[in-house]
Amino acid sequence: MKLRICLLLFCCFFNSRLFAQTAKEIEADFMKSFDKLNYLRADTSTTSIDKLIYANSKIEEKLKYYTQKAPSAMAQAFVKCGGLVSDDGLMRILSWDTLTGGTEHSFENVIQYRSTPTANFITISSENQSKYVYNYDKLYTLNVNGKNYYLVTYYGIFDLYIRGEGIRVFSIENGKLNAQAKLIKTQKGLTNKLYYTYDQQENNLDVMGDATLTYNSKLKTITFPVVIDNGEEGKLTDNFITYKFTGQYFEKVKP
């Protein structure tokens, strides 16, 4: 009987130690996974697309695992692992280049959200989506009359020089993530996003250069360049368009 109790206590202790990862350990584990991706992509002689896909799936598995087994440590490590976290901590995003594409980059992103600070995180993955998956690079929180909205800037790289950029609005309503929060007022009506494409070669820009769309959280303004349609992809100009939050919507400001 004593032996059984001792074994039970040992198993409980072992399991608690197994799941007691620190934030630094989790960060190191994620960095190891990203290093593995880079290694596989560089070693083209022996690496197959299946190996890259498998390596990417392990990143998502780790995110789900640590979120469930070590939520506090995962929260501390999230940003250092390359993630984005909202000011209220209710929404966070991990995006990365899967390295499975060529001149058209292939991204993966995982969104996690919760309805209250004490609720469990719900995970949404872009895996297996038929549409192009963009990379989310910045996350801002905007409070409107006690309700938080989440503004996320994103981009896609479709060719050696062709790039798309935008900003979209999320909210959490009735315990679910609303990806269609229409907080932007345009001439065509209310929308949840602004988006444009352009040719970086036309403007002599670096392919992996900084985004041309910006959000100023203090002024509550979205600013991006006027794009001229040259018959193919757009060309950036020196003129800018600004949308400012007026209390209810983001509305275009006269230059």
Instruction: Render pLDDT for 80-101 as a digit per residue (tens, 0 to 9).
Output: 999 999 999 999 999 999 999 8
46/51: higher pLDDT: 51
Name the helix (H) or strand (E) containing 53: helix 49-69
Residue 15 pLDDT grade (very low, low, confident, very high; cuts 50, 70, 90)? very low
Taking only the tens place, the pLDDT of each residue in 210-230 is 668 999 999 999 999 999 876
Residue 232 pLDDT grade (very low, low, confident, very high; cuts 50, 70, 90)? low
Angle between helices 49-69 and 23-42 (to 10 degrees): 170
Residue 44 pLDDT grade (very low, low, confident, very high; cuts 50, 70, 90)? confident
pLDDT confidence of residue 231: 60
CA–chain centroid gap for 17, Å, is 31
Contact 123, 110 (CB under 8 A): yes
* Reported pTM: 0.87
pLDDT for 19 beyond 80: no
pLDDT for 69 beyond 80: yes
pLDDT confidence of residue 6: 44
pLDDT confidence of residue 68: 93
Reduced to 3 states (helix: H, G, I; strand: E, B; else coil), residue 20 is: coil
pLDDT for 108 beyond 70: yes
Q: Mind giving me the DSSP string for 63-78?
A: HHHHHHH-HHHHHHHT
Query: How large is the average pLDDT for residues 61-74?
Result: 94
Taking only the tens place, the pLDDT of each residue in 156-192 is 999 888 999 999 999 999 999 999 999 999 999 999 9
Lowest-pLDDT range of 25-29, 186-190, 205-209, 214-218: 205-209
CA–chain centroid gap for 108, Å, is 8
pLDDT confidence of residue 200: 83
